């Protein structure tokens, strides 16, 4: 059954004191849709890091579409946390990419205007086109803004829900960004950031060729590239990525977390295979010297569309992805 498990393993978002036990360092989900540090041979950079978001548009949209069931579960949970969502009149999706979640939010909050905010115009065009296809044009808008400059007080208008997935980590000062996003909230409004989870899994540990554990080695490679990406961002500020603590420092209360799961067991369908092929291709291109010859050869076999043991044809490819959402509310004074 290719259906997602119900996601909502929810911790306290009700204002109760969070569990005191220190959480293990969160495993980043970064790289689910993109790899950090890869080169495209493309001169134009839409935003101030080394990723060309415009070139990644199709990949981001394919990733978003695969994750729609998990996005819907996240949106339903947020609606619940906001008392059913009836009072939610304005929602911002910060770093929206092609607007898949923007549209899911518009469906989940039928009374709300939902605005996709992003620094890449081509992605906002996709968001508008998507909203049109889904009959949501009247309520979905876009706002082109380069962050953090675009977070200046008043620039985004007020909102009842601010959602941001996998975007804050592309800003040098993550705490500063959360502080600014919290200021956008109306009293009682909620900021929710999806910025952690587990590295995506899609291959068996032992592929039947090559050295077992390739996926764990690819994770390590991405971790290094992620760190290099963060260190290279303008105004990069090191911070312990304790997202609940960061949200509390931004002045929010009732901070908690829940995790959504996308569980597509083998055999994976074509859209999932297309997405993984594109993702693995980018990982291979980004590896520049960090993988040994045997792992590179293994990747080439996996990427060979004609090979029975390749990603496109082998029966044991699956997709398992977990995203953690951290959320808190602006107090009503
Ligand atoms: C990894 S994608 C996430 C897209 C979508 N939220 C998702 O979860 O699939 C990051 C998005 O943030 C945008 N972004 C990155 N840095 C930005 C910046 N400095 N200003 C504005 N947008 C930025 C990119 O254009 C891209 O759409």
Ligand 1 center from residue 118 Cα (angstroms): 6
When pLDDT is cut at 50, 70 and 90, the band that residue 49 belongs to is low
Evaluate: CB of 60 within 6 angstroms of ligand 1: yes
Closest C-alpha among 46, 152, 12, 166 to residue 101:
166
Instruction: Give the residue-averaged pLDDT of 83-112.
Output: 96
Note the pLDDT tens digit of each residue in 210-258.
999 999 999 999 999 999 999 999 999 999 999 999 999 999 999 999 9
Res 307 pLDDT > 80: yes
Res 13 pLDDT > 50: no
Closest C-alpha among 120, 148, 147 to residue 45:
120
When pLDDT is cut at 50, 70 and 90, the band that residue 37 belongs to is very low
Res 276 pLDDT > 60: yes
- Rounded to an integer, what distance in angstroms lies between the CA atom of residue 110 and that of residue 75? 12
Residue 244 tokens, joined:
């609940």
Res 203 pLDDT > 50: yes
When pLDDT is cut at 50, 70 and 90, the band that residue 119 belongs to is very high
Ligand 1 center from residue 117 Cα (angstroms): 9
Res 28 pLDDT > 90: no
Reported as type and span, the H/E element at residue 72 is helix 68-81
- Rounded to an integer, what distance in angstroms lies between the CA atom of residue 153 and that of residue 185? 11
CA distances from 175 to 193, 230, 236 (A): 12, 13, 11
Res 155 pLDDT > 60: yes
When pLDDT is cut at 50, 70 and 90, the band that residue 333 belongs to is confident
- Rounded to an integer, what distance in angstroms lies between the CA atom of residue 216 and that of residue 137? 42
Ligand 1 center from residue 248 Cα (angstroms): 23
Res 179 pLDDT > 60: yes
Res 277 pLDDT > 80: yes
Residue 179: how many CA atoms within 13 Å on its side-chain side? 7
Evaluate: CB of 120 within 6 angstroms of ligand 1: yes
Better-predicted residue by pLDDT, 13 or 24:
13
When pLDDT is cut at 50, 70 and 90, the band that residue 24 belongs to is very low
Q: SS3 letters for 223-280?
A: HHHHHHHHHHCCCCCCCCCCHHHHHHHCCCEEEEEEEEEEEECCCCCHHHHHHHHHHH
When pLDDT is cut at 50, 70 and 90, the band that residue 35 belongs to is low
When pLDDT is cut at 50, 70 and 90, the band that residue 34 belongs to is low
Instruction: Give the residue-averaged pLDDT of 187-196.
Output: 97
Res 30 pLDDT > 60: no
Res 267 pLDDT > 80: yes
Map out the domains of the chain with their CATH numbers: 9-329 (3.40.50.150)
Res 19 pLDDT > 50: no
Instruction: Give the residue-averaged pLDDT of 106-120.
Output: 98
Evaluate: CB of 99 within 6 angstroms of ligand 1: no
Ligand 1 center from residue 165 Cα (angstroms): 8
Ligand 1 center from residue 166 Cα (angstroms): 7
According to the model, what pLDDT value does residue 286 have?
85
Instruction: Give the residue-averaged pLDDT of 186-215.
Output: 97
Better-predicted residue by pLDDT, 35 or 87:
87
Poorest-confidence range of 32-36, 41-45, 211-215, 216-220? 41-45
CA-based angle 10:4:69, to the nearest 5?
85
- What is the residue-averaged pLDDT of the chain? 87
Evaluate: CB of 64 within 6 angstroms of ligand 1: yes
Place of tokens 């009149």: 89
């Amino acid at each position: 059954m290719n259906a997602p498990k119900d996601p909502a393993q929810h911790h306290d978002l009700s204002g109760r004191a969070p569990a005191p036990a220190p959480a293990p360092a969160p495993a980043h989900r970064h790289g689910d849709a993109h790899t950090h540090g890869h080169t495209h041979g493309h001169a134009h950079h839409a935003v101030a890091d080394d990723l060309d978001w415009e070139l990644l548009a199709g990949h981001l949209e394919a990733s978003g579409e695969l994750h729609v069931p998990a996005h819907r579960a996240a949106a339903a949970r947020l609606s619940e946390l906001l008392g059913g969502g009836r009072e939610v009149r304005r929602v911002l999706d910060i770093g929206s990419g092609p607007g898949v979640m923007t549209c899911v939010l518009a469906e989940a909050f039928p009374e709300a205007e939902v605005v996709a905010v992003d620094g890449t115009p081509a992605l906002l065009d996709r968001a508008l086109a998507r909203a049109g296809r889904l009959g949501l044009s009247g309520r979905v808008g876009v706002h082109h803004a380069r962050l953090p400059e675009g977070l200046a007080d008043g620039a985004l208008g007020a909102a009842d829900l601010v959602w941001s997935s996998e975007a804050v980590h592309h800003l040098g000062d993550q705490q500063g960004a959360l502080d600014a996003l919290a200021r956008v909230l109306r009293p009682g409004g909620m900021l929710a950031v999806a910025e952690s989870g587990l590295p995506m899994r899609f291959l068996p540990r032992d592929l039947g060729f090559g050295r077992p554990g390739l996926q764990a080695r690819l994770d390590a490679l991405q971790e290094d590239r992620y760190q290099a990406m963060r260190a290279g961002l303008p105004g990069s500020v090191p911070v312990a990525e304790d997202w609940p603590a960061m949200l509390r420092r931004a002045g929010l209360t009732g901070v908690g977390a829940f995790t959504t799961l996308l569980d597509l067991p083998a055999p994976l369908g074509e859209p999932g295979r297309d997405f993984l092929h594109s993702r693995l291709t980018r990982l291979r291109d980004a590896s520049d010297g960090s993988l040994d010859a045997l792992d590179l050869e293994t990747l080439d076999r996996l990427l060979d569309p004609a090979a029975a043991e390749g990603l496109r044809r082998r029966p044991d490819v699956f997709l398992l992805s977990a995203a953690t959402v951290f959320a808190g509310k602006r107090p009503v004074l």
